[in-house]
Amino acid sequence: MSETQYLVSTLAIGADHGGLAMKNALVSRLREAAVAVQDLGTDSPASVDYPDFAHAVCRAVVEGRADRGILVCGTGIGMSIAANRHHGIRCVLAHDVTTARLGREHNDGNVLALGGRLLGEELAWEIVATFLAIPFSGGRHSRRLAKLSPA
Ligand code: RB5
């Protein structure tokens, strides 16, 4: 997907120990693709708590320091739960390319959660590249997004 146009200028990424290897591989590939990446850690294999990294990445997105975020833990589940507690974050947990595409088209996802222990690097890269390239469809989906937060 070397010709792909990514709809981001700045991306924040974070991982726990379960997602470290995948995160580092993605940072390399994103930088090769000329995407500006803020790597918010973790940086070592030592055991850490995934919500700390989810919150750091989501704050960067909510505060406008990053257009999008990527979070990697063992399964992606803990990261997605933590991320979706932030007002303004729509975190898509994707283990396949179709979910990543629909998470952009229908849900305007701004953070992607991945399972570093579940995915191979090539599939993870295809998921990321899709998530960064596909626009939100708008229309009826905008009405539904407006109803996401309880009144
Ligand atoms: C850490 O062992 C693991 O629980 C974490 O990476 C993640 O999978 C949680 O959802």
The tens digit of pLDDT for each residue in 121-144 reads: 999 999 999 999 999 999 999 999
74 lines ligand 1 (CB under 6 A): yes
Distance of CA 49 to CAs 5, 13, 93, 98, 105, Å? Answer: 34, 15, 18, 29, 31
Does the reported pTM lie above 0.85? Answer: yes
pLDDT in tens, 19-76: 999 999 999 999 999 999 999 999 999 999 999 999 999 999 999 999 999 999 999 9
Q: Looking at the predicted structure, is the pLDDT value of residue 4 above 80? A: no
Q: What is the mean pLDDT of residues 64-93?
A: 98
Mutate to test the pocket of ligand 1, among 47, 75, 77, 119 (most ligand atoms within 8 A of CB): 75
Q: Which of 9, 11, 13, 7 is nearest to 25 (CA)?
A: 13
Q: Predicted confidence band at 3 (pLDDT cuts at 50, 70, 90)?
A: low
- Domains and their CATH numbers in the chain: 10-146 (3.40.1400.10)
For ligand 1, atom 10: residue with the closest CA: 78
**Per-residue pLDDT at 1:** 44
Q: Which two tokens stand for residue 127?
A: 């998921």
Please give the pLDDT value at position 37.
Answer: 98
Q: Which helix (H) or strand (E) holds 36?
A: strand 36-39
Nearest-atom number in ligand 1 for the CA of 78 is 10
Strand partners, 36: 10
